[in-house]
């Protein structure tokens, strides 16, 4: 292997590592944060749609009930998130990978 | 008179009589008319001695008149069935039970009847092209007022839901890295589409009620009825609805002057208090009196209906304002 080729492969390695580091440290957590925020917003939406799941009567639940068939994934995920969320702090804490 | 005419008022004051009489008046003047009863305890069938259903049917012996009775119970049941059918098509069997419970619950909430009734209102107003006039015989004041306030109230709710949904979908779209498919997409989202459909329905209803509907309140000459009417006028005004007049029903007939018996004295006293109440109505309330109908000995049916109709001073010709 010539010197040039070795330098070339070393540079590729460095570039790959840098890209990985950048993705892992900067972009990935950012996307994760956005997704978490989206889930939070969705939870708020679900709660506004179906407060009667918690015994709070809602004036529009008659109308939102017809959305339910299209909300299968959301409904399941919502219930799951509602169950395993200890506190708001805990959920916000997930973004820091200690 | 506007295209949609509503008769409202306290329970038992004679809304059905008034609205039926007005509908007959319109029909006999050659205006093709539909009479819609929205009171769960329907009495249109008693006035015309004929049973009606959820779809408009011609009234016997009245060539220009159709009538229908809306049953909120049936509407709720149908809505439930429809939602469940959609559920069966969309959702995996494992989740059906979970969601099913939620749907059942939503159809038993206190607002379900009102919402169902309101949906039918919108349908009737949408498919009203073949009629020149639609007369609504509404349920007692409380229910009707709540019903008519619905578009205002629900619109706010739906807007909020729509905003929330859009926000979360937008974030999901942003969170999709590279070529990954986002978990939710704005385009073709059935939830957004449905909510927008609802919002449009509510706006349509609001628009129709404010610009093409006229309201009449039926009053009896007694304290309670007058007080309730005052409140109703205020509330309808608040919703931006147009109260065109008050129709006084069940006035006591005055005895002839030469009659002096106990019955005649009673009637005379009664007429005196009623005149007092009428004065109060004229002075305290802004909508004018459009009818003053005396108590009938028999039920208002058949021939009587025409007599009552003649006493209602509400125009029948179609105008836009």
What backbone torsions phi and psi does residue B217 show, to the nearest 5 degrees? -110, 130
| B198: contact with A, CB 8 A cutoff | yes
Does residue B11 register a pLDDT over 70?
A: yes
Whole-number pLDDT of residue B4:
92
Whole-number pLDDT of residue B178:
63
In this structure, of A72-76, A85-89, B20-24, B169-173, the range with the lowest mean pLDDT score is A85-89
In this structure, of A70-79, B180-189, B271-280, the range with the lowest mean pLDDT score is B180-189
Domain that residue A83 falls in: 1-94
Does residue B172 register a pLDDT over 60?
A: yes
Residue with tokens 């030469």: B258
Do the Cβ atoms of A29 and B177 come closer than 8 Å?
Answer: no
Does residue B66 register a pLDDT over 90?
A: yes
Q: Do B175 and A72 touch (CB under 8 A)?
A: no
Whole-number pLDDT of residue B27:
92
Whole-number pLDDT of residue B311:
80
| B166: contact with A, CB 8 A cutoff | no
Do the Cβ atoms of B34 and B22 come closer than 8 Å?
Answer: no
Mutate to test the interface with B, among A58, A68, A83 (most CBs of B within 10 A): A68
Q: Looking at A35-92, which runs of residues are DSSP E strands?
A: none
What is the C-alpha end-to-end distance of chain B, expressed in Å? Answer: 7
Q: Do B109 and A58 touch (CB under 8 A)?
A: yes
Q: How far apart are CA B286 and CA B215, in angstroms?
A: 13
> What residue spans define the domains of chain B?
2-250+287-309
Q: Do A59 and B157 touch (CB under 8 A)?
A: yes
Do the Cβ atoms of B227 and B200 come closer than 8 Å?
Answer: no
Does residue B302 register a pLDDT over 80?
A: no
| A58: contact with B, CB 8 A cutoff | yes
Whole-number pLDDT of residue B261:
86
Q: Do B115 and A27 touch (CB under 8 A)?
A: no
Mutate to test the interface with A, among B72, B171, B180 (most CBs of A within 10 A): B171
Sign of the CA dihedral running B64, B74, B215, B270: positive
B34 pLDDT band, cuts 50/70/90, is very high
| A35: contact with B, CB 8 A cutoff | yes
Q: Do A72 and B191 touch (CB under 8 A)?
A: no
| A47: contact with B, CB 8 A cutoff | no
- Report the range out of A25-39, B174-188, B260-274, B283-297 with the highest average pLDDT: B260-274
Q: Do B90 and A70 touch (CB under 8 A)?
A: yes
Q: How far apart are CA B108 and CA B25, in angstroms?
A: 39
Q: What is the pTM of this model?
A: 0.79
Does residue B139 register a pLDDT over 90?
A: no
Q: What is the count of structural domains for chain A?
A: 1
Considering just the CA atoms, what is the radius of gyration of chain B in Å? 24
Whole-number pLDDT of residue B36:
92
Q: Which 3 state secondary structure label does DSSP give B253?
A: coil
DSSP B198-233: HHHHHHHHHHHHHHSEEEEEEE-SSHHHHHHHHHHH
Q: Do B109 and A50 touch (CB under 8 A)?
A: no
Whole-number pLDDT of residue B110:
74
Does residue B321 register a pLDDT over 60?
A: no
| B108: contact with A, CB 8 A cutoff | no
Minimum-distance CB partner of A70 among B98, B109, B191 = B191
| A59: contact with B, CB 8 A cutoff | yes
Please report residues of B whose CB lies closer than 8 A to that of A58.
Answer: 109, 111
HEC-encoded secondary structure of B6-63: EEECCCCCCHHHHHHHHHHHHHHCCCCEEEEECCCCCCHHHHHCCCCCCCCEECCCCC
Does residue B176 register a pLDDT over 80?
A: no
A92 pLDDT band, cuts 50/70/90, is low
Whole-number pLDDT of residue B196:
92
For the segment B259-286, the average pLDDT, to the nearest whole number, is: 89
B142 pLDDT band, cuts 50/70/90, is low
Minimum-distance CB partner of B198 among A35, A37, A63 = A63
Residues forming beta bridges with residue B34, ordered by sequence position: B66, B134
| B83: contact with A, CB 8 A cutoff | yes
pLDDT tens digit string along B100-117? Answer: 888 888 888 877 888 888
Q: Closest approach of chain B CAs to the CA of A6, in angstroms?
A: 31
Residue with tokens 């007369």: B135
Half-sphere exposure of A9 (CA within 13 A, CB side): 5
Minimum-distance CB partner of B158 among A28, A38, A60 = A60
Whole-number pLDDT of residue A10:
94
Q: How far apart are CA B320 and CA B318, in angstroms?
A: 7
Q: For chain B, what is the mean pLDDT?
A: 85
A54 pLDDT band, cuts 50/70/90, is confident
The interface pTM score, or ipTM, of the predicted complex is 0.74
| B279: contact with A, CB 8 A cutoff | no
Does residue B85 register a pLDDT over 70?
A: yes
| B112: contact with A, CB 8 A cutoff | yes
Do the Cβ atoms of B165 and B153 come closer than 8 Å?
Answer: no
Q: Closest approach of chain B CAs to the CA of A10, in angstroms?
A: 26
Q: Closest approach of chain B CAs to the CA of A27, in angstroms?
A: 9
| B95: contact with A, CB 8 A cutoff | yes
Q: How far apart are CA B89 and CA B77, in angstroms?
A: 19
| A95: contact with B, CB 8 A cutoff | no
Q: Are strands B33-37 and B65-69 parallel, antiparallel or unpaired?
A: parallel
Whole-number pLDDT of residue B316:
74
Report the candidate in B48, B14, B51, B107 with the shortest Cα–Cα distance to residue B303: B48
Superfamily for domain range B2-250+287-309: P-loop containing nucleotide triphosphate hydrolases (3.40.50.300)
């Amino acid at each position: 292997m010539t010197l040039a080729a070795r330098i070339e492969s070393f540079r590729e390695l460095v570039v790959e590592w840098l890209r990985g580091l950048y993705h892992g440290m900067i972009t990935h957590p950012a996307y994760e944060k956005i997704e978490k925020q989206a889930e939070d917003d969705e939870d708020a939406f679900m709660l506004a749609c179906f407060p009667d799941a918690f015994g709070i009567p809602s004036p529009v639940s008659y109308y939102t009930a017809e959305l339910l068939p299209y909300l299968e994934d959301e409904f399941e995920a919502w219930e799951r998130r509602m169950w395993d969320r200890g506190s708001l702090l805990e959920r916000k804490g997930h973004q820091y990978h200690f | 008179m506007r295209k949609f005419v509503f008769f409202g008022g306290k329970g038992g004051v004679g809304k059905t009589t008034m609205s039926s009489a007005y509908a007959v008046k319109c029909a006999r003047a050659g205006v093709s008319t539909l009479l819609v009863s929205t009171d769960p305890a329907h009495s249109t069938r008693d006035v015309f001695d004929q049973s009606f259903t959820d779809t408009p049917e011609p009234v016997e012996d009245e060539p220009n008149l159709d009538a229908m009775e809306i049953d909120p119970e049936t509407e709720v049941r149908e809505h439930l069935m429809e939602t469940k059918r959609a559920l069966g098509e969309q959702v995996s069997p494992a989740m059906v039970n979970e969601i099913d419970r939620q749907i059942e619950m939503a159809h038993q909430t206190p607002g379900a009847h009102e919402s169902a009734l309101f949906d039918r209102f919108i349908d009737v107003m949408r498919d009203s092209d073949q009629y020149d006039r639609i007369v609504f015989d509404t349920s007692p004041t409380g229910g009707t007022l709540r019903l008519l306030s619905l578009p205002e109230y629900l619109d706010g709710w739906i807007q909020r839901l729509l905003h929330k949904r859009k926000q979360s979908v937008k974030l999901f779209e942003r969170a999709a890295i590279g070529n990954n498919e986002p978990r939710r997409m704005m385009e073709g989202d059935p939830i957004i589409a449905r909510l927008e459909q609802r919002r449009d329905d509510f706006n349509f209803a609001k628009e129709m009620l404010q610009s093409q509907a006229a309201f009449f309140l039926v009053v009896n000459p007694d304290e309670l009825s007058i007080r309730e009417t005052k409140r109703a006028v205020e509330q309808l005004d608040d919703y931006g609805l147009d109260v065109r007049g008050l129709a006084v029903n069940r006035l006591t007939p005055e005895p002839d002057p030469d009659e002096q018996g106990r019955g005649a004295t009673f009637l005379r006293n009664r007429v005196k208090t009623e005149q007092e109440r009428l004065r109060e109505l004229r002075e305290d309330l802004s909508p004018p009196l459009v009818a003053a109908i005396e108590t009938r000995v028999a039920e208002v049916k058949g021939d009587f209906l025409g007599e009552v109709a003649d006493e209602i001073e509400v125009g029948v010709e179609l105008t836009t304002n």
